[in-house]
Structure 1
Amino acid sequence: MSETMKALVLEQHGEVGDLKVVHDYPKPKAGPGEAVIRVGASSFNYHDVFTVKGMPGIKVPFPVVIGLDMAGQIVELGAGVDRWQIGDRVLVNPLNKAKGLMGEMMDGGMAEYCRVSVDQLIAMPPDVSYADAASLPVAYGTAHRMLITHKTVKAGDRVLILGASGGVGTGCVMLAKQLGAEVIACAGSADKMARLKELGADHVVNYRDTDFSKWAIQTYGKPQRRTYEGGVDVVINFTGGDTWVPSLKCLKRGGTLLVCGATAGHDPKEDLRYIWSFELKVIGSNSFYDDDLSALMDMIQAGTLKPVVDKVLTLEEAAEGLRMIQDREVMGKIVVAP
């Protein structure tokens, strides 16, 4: 058996186009408490763009195989592993408790094989594909924790979702609809808006030519300080930047602003007057846990959830897929089948 493999490797911080497909990358071997999986599918997240470009305070050990999310089949087990067997189909939780995130602090899923700690493994139901499972952790896992685990959305709520066409966004649209909410999905093109309607969004707003906050106020009325009339119940905002204050302005009294990221900037202009005047709640959600991922796979198995996959690419095409995510040309997830 070959001691090398094909992998998408980050050798130094730079641009997405600098990523290289290496054909003789060392194939991993399982140590004690570890497993090697044959990667069936891996998916990109916007976090991978940040990893390529470099983030303050994060020292990436080069070279590194990128890719947080992956699913595959166990092909090797290290010493002391008795719960799992060769051939088991597994989803990998990207967080390695000892080293940090896969694809950032240690080799990730954009390769033919990947070494993981066995406490990262989650058994896959029989009817869940590798592509669907690999779409889940960072995007859908975050959405599930933010909406369902934290119990932030209930039937009848008006839920406005910024960045609705991406991985987290499409997850939020589908989960909010399952919870019985009235969903307002914001996206940047007519094509994305049409596809969001197909996913179940009740209203779609093109943020490039329409101020989403003014749209919400014109549609539902201006939020009132003395009553609970006007505005929306929940805004899901993982963009930050200049969308922050407009998000506060369209929330009804007692409304909730959910945040799990800041792709457009982490240090936005703030206006605390809206928070106290309208008794707003700002709730953060960080990461996801095995329970979130298992619940999502159970939903796929039951036929109540189908992750939105824009494209399934080869490793040779993967860098272009990440560029599409960077330039917001994607609806849902980009999956790579090594």
Structure 2
Amino acid sequence: MKAVVFEAHGGVEVLSCRDWPDPEPRAQDVIVRVRAVGLNYLDIFARRGMPNVTIPLPFISGGDIAGEIESLGAAVTGWRVGERVVVNPKTADGLIGEEIQGGLAERVRVPASNLVRLPDAVDDDTAAAVPINFGTALRMLTTIGNLRAGETILVLGASGGVGTACVQVAKMIGAEVLAAAGSAAKLEQLRAIGADHAIDYAAEDFSRRAWDLSGKRGVDVVVNFTGGDTFVPSMRALARHGRLLVCGATAGYAPPIDLRYLWRRELQVLGSTGYAQADIEAAIALVAEGRLKPAIGHRFPLAETAAAQQLLEDRAFFGKIVINP
């Protein structure tokens, strides 16, 4: 089969689309014929290398996978060849695309317990935009953040995969949504998917703008997966008893913090580490019902994965970038 492989950590130049042995299923596994893979920053981190994470080289990344079952392990029951599925990448053996070989290939081995059936109403590209992004957004905003109808929420970095998912989930819940991004074109697209207010953080102080838009009371919830120098401004944007939801650190994992806001406003800083299979199942059902609609900005063939990852790394995209093997 063809796969996108890197044998050393580095820039996109280490990626090679080449022949790779077909995976073999264990007793409880299936082989999925991959039809679409959604890119994530995890693919960038895996390729670059991550502190305290050993990635087995040579390696294939890619965790957001949709396709159909091509073959079954000897002990697999309840599934049949040809069924369309999406994959929960969190397996008992590790994370697909980070710790075990991923889906940027024509085929991938997946434990049968990590499969979610795809309704006919959900196409492969759309399905590949759901698991990590919408699973993360659903769990973070509902299970962790307890976002309620009528509350206000500020989503930073709202034009990416998780960001666009948070905008849609928050709007579905009935919150007033403030979405921050770095260009006029992205702001217009965010309004089109449900943002009530769009803030250009390249042109203005997002914290002050959110404070003004909230009637100078602050927002109830901020979603921050960037860290770095956005952390203290996020705290400043929050109302008394506000919740700061953290699910990543793409701009820096050791940000400064101003404890005065924390105690004076009795803020909560809540970490969210991803999703459970139930979140992915719920997200797929909501997409099938038309209540959520993943935004897909770009599609690339497998051989052009390097160009796709460069687009992701440069943040020159909106929504999700999908690879079609």
In which range does the TM-score fall when normalised by the shorter chain? over 0.9
Matched residue type, 1:250: A
| Identical columns (%) | 48
Contact 1:158/1:233, CA 8 A, preserved across alignment: yes
- Which of 122, 139, 143 matches 1:145? 139
Q: State the distance in 1 between where 2:218 and 2:275 align.
A: 29
Matched residue type, 1:15: G
Q: Deviations over 1:101-128 (max 9, x none)?
A: 1112221111101111111111111211
- Which of 269, 277, 283 matches 2:256? 269
Q: CA RMSD in A?
A: 1.1
User: Is 1:15 equivalent to 2:2 in the alignment?
Assistant: no
Aligned 1:95-110 pairs, distance under 5 A? 95-98=90-93, 100-110=94-104
User: Is 1:131 equivalent to 2:118 in the alignment?
Assistant: no
Q: Which residue is equivalent to 2:273?
A: 286
Contact 1:17/1:320, CA 8 A, preserved across alignment: no
User: Is 1:154 equivalent to 2:148 in the alignment?
Assistant: yes
Q: State the distance in 2 between where 1:113 and 1:122 align.
A: 17
Structure 1 residue 316: deviation in Å? 1.3
Q: Deviations over 1:159-198 (max 9, x none)?
A: 1110000000000001111111111110001110010010
Q: State the distance in 1 between where 2:213 and 2:66 align.
A: 43
Q: Which residue is equivalent to 1:41?
A: 36
- Which of 59, 68, 76 matches 1:73? 68
User: Is 1:94 equivalent to 2:89 in the alignment?
Assistant: yes
Matched residue type, 1:47: L
Contact 1:39/1:113, CA 8 A, preserved across alignment: yes
Instruction: Give 5+ residue unaligned stretches, structure 2.
Output: none
Q: Which residue is equivalent to 1:191?
A: 185
Q: Which residue is equivalent to 1:113?
A: 107
User: Is 1:247 equivalent to 2:234 in the alignment?
Assistant: yes
Q: State the distance in 2 between where 1:154 and 1:232 align.
A: 12
Q: State the distance in 1 between where 2:7 and 2:200 align.
A: 38
Q: Which residue is equivalent to 1:212?
A: 206
Matched residue type, 2:202: R
Q: Deviations over 1:122-163 (max 9, x none)?
A: 111121111111111111110111012335211111111100
Q: State the distance in 2 between where 1:151 and 1:139 align.
A: 16
Q: State the distance in 2 between where 1:329 and 1:298 align.
A: 30
Structure 1 residue 221: deviation in Å? 4.5
Q: TM-score, normalised by structure 1?
A: 0.94
* 2:261 counterpart SS class: helix
Matched residue type, 1:64: F
Total equivalences in the alignment: 325
* 1:64 counterpart SS class: coil
Contact 1:186/1:206, CA 8 A, preserved across alignment: yes
Structure 1 residue 314: deviation in Å? 0.1
Q: Which residue is equivalent to 1:59?
A: 54
* 1:65 counterpart SS class: coil
Q: State the distance in 2 between where 1:111 and 1:78 align.
A: 19
Q: Deviations over 1:54-97 (max 9, x none)?
A: 00111111111111110111111111111211111111111121
Q: Which residue is equivalent to 2:167?
A: 173
Structure 1 residue 218: deviation in Å? 2.9
Matched residue type, 1:260: C
